[in-house]
Amino acid sequence: QCLHLDCALVLLLTLRRSFTWLRSRGMDWLLPLDRTIYFHKMIGWLICVFSVVHTLAHIINYGIMSRATGVNMRDYLFDKTAGWIPGIVTPSGFAILFLLLIMGLFSHRLVRKSGRFELFYWTHMLCLPFFLLMIMHAGNVWKWLIGPLCLFGAEIGYRIGFICCSERGRTKVTSLQLLPNQVVRLKIERPPYFEYNAGDYVYVNIPHVARFEWHPFTISSAPEDEDYMTLHVRVAGGWTGRLYSMCQEDATRLERQQSRQRIAQQQLDSKLSPFQSMPMQLEKSTMPIMLDGPYSGSAMRAWNCRHALFIAGGIGVTPFASLLQSLVSRYQSSMNACPHCHQSCCTNVPTSLGKLRHVDFMWVNRDLLSFQWFLELLLDLDKEQSVRGSVMENFLDIQLFQTGTKIMPDPHQPIYSTTVDLSGIRLVVLHKIYRQLVTNTYLPKNVISQVFRDVALRSGGRVTVFYCGPASMARVVMAQCKKFGFTFTKE
């Protein structure tokens, strides 16, 4: 019965659309909707362990019965009368165990993080024959699975209808931009009636890259942008690598075309500059893209917090970029012109910000080039904060950290810290000891502790920490949240 219950739960925990609906109704404060992936993994491993124990127990039991009765053990194993489908019990049992081991092996973190997400994705499709074999193997399991399977089938049907029969699931990429450190910015024409919240994510399929592969990415633009939406994709495997290579080829081809246009312009003395013709070339090179979503994450809870601390590591900044852009849009929509100086500003916190009254934004990168991913956003935030008397003056604090410097510090000094003024934004450069590994984004514990201490001193109430980034840094942030009594949520 434990296996039956676990199989039902592991299926229920994949209902992304249902969880998005529950989150939009405020049920995330009552249900652990932020931990569904974690619970799905744990229950999946429990199913693997219980299935091995279940199989070994039957084999041992058949061996004992064989010794007691003198009947060959093979006759017990392959009894053609056992099961509600005669003779199917043992073959289906071994097939189920084989499928489980395959899914479990390729679901391991080493496989998913090695850039071979496709192996994880396609082997997980074996869940379909797995559940079919489960129903054939055990006569009562259908009572446990009928509800979850119906909900799962309804979600799949809705997603297929959303993608194939609706304009909301099909659109096109209008521009591709190569950014530092192998990041591609996709600007997508926003489909009609495609509504999403700041911090939401979508599953993306680009037939030009791979026809049957879907990959999740956080929407990095604000929902207030009605004409377009953006995704920032960092190279992390086969699919993202192919997308980046395709963008590089397009960029090289456009550069050559632009060069030829300049030569032709000089020869023909045309009045049209080569820069004016580039948008037309980009429009011709638009490619179709399919969207499945949007699905909500924990970041949408930020509007219900009084004091939010956003901590991003590397490309994990995307949900917070969406939130901060939405914050600026809501702030600008509430601006009023001063009758004396005619300068527009907002002196009161807009009601559209909900309960949110203060935001601390902390972004950690290994090098300065990565900050160019959202440099315009950072400069816009700094511009709004520079208006004297504006509510944004004290509403938002930004700290940018760089951890990947190659400078060799004095080994007798644990950490070196210097502050650099970057358009009014505080940039803290941390030089790490050369003995420490630099393969992952890493922030020393005492620096994070100091940030948390400063936030605790400035906050007048409960602080909620929203984190998105490497798992190694998440453990440090979680420990500090427990130390200072902050609420921790992870994308």
CATH number of the CATH domain containing 257 = 2.40.30.10
The answer on 456 and 319 residing in a single domain is: yes
Query: Would you give the distance in Å from CA 77 to the centre of its chain?
Result: 46
Do both 276 and 192 map to the same domain? yes
Torsion of CA 102, 107, 109, 114, to 10 degrees: 80
- Tell me which residue range forms the domain holding 420: 298-490
Cis (ω within 30 of 0) for the bond into 148? no
Domain match, 248 and 357 both = no
- Name the nearest CA neighbour of 442 among 432, 434, 456: 432
* Amino acid (one-letter) located at 267: Q
Q: Which residues pair with 363 in a beta bridge?
A: 312, 400
What is the pTM for the complete model shown? Answer: 0.78
Q: Which residues pair with residue 447 across a beta bridge?
A: none
- Clarify whether residues 149 and 176 are in a common domain: no
pLDDT in tens, the chain (491 residues): 788 888 899 999 888 888 888 888 878 778 888 888 889 999 999 999 998 998 888 888 878 887 778 777 777 777 777 767 777 888 888 899 999 999 988 888 887 777 677 788 888 889 889 999 988 888 788 889 899 899 999 988 888 887 877 777 888 888 888 888 888 888 898 988 888 888 899 999 888 888 888 888 999 988 888 888 999 988 877 788 888 888 877 666 666 665 655 555 554 444 433 333 333 334 435 788 899 878 988 888 888 888 889 998 888 889 998 998 888 888 777 666 665 655 556 556 677 777 888 888 888 887 777 777 887 777 777 666 665 455 666 677 888 887 765 544 444 444 444 444 455 555 555 543 333 333 334 456 677 888 888 888 887 668 889 998 888 888 888 888 888 888 888 87
Task: Return d(Cα 213, Cα 105) in angstroms, integer.
Answer: 20
158 and 227 inside one domain: no
Last residue of a domain, one of 295, 315, 334: 295
CA 150/CA 18 separation, integer angstroms: 13
Burial class (CB in 10 A: 0-12, 13-18, 19+), 118: middle
Claim to verify: residue 309 and residue 213 sit in the same structural domain: no
Same domain membership, residue 325 and residue 228: no
pLDDT of residue 429: 52
Q: Which of 121, 147, 164 is the last residue of a domain?
A: 164
Do residue 276 and residue 324 come from a single domain? Answer: no
Do 113 and 179 share a domain, yes or no? no
CA 77, 80, 81, 85 torsion: positive or negative?
positive
Total of domains in the chain: 3
Q: State which H helix or E strand residue 324 sits in.
A: helix 318-333
Alpha helix (H) residue ranges in 138-180: 141-164
Q: Are strands 396-402 and 425-431 parallel, antiparallel or unpaired?
A: parallel
Number of H helices, E strands in the chain: 16, 15
Q: Which two tokens stand for residue 42?
A: 């744990």
Last residue of a domain, one of 164, 185, 201: 164
Is 150 in the same domain as 113?
Answer: yes
Q: Are residues 239 and 367 in the same domain?
A: no
Domain of 446, CATH number, reads 3.40.50.80
Rounded-to-integer distance, Cα 52 and Cα 92, Å: 14
**One domain for residues 350 and 264:** no
Residue 423, CB-side half-sphere exposure with 13 Å CA sphere: 15
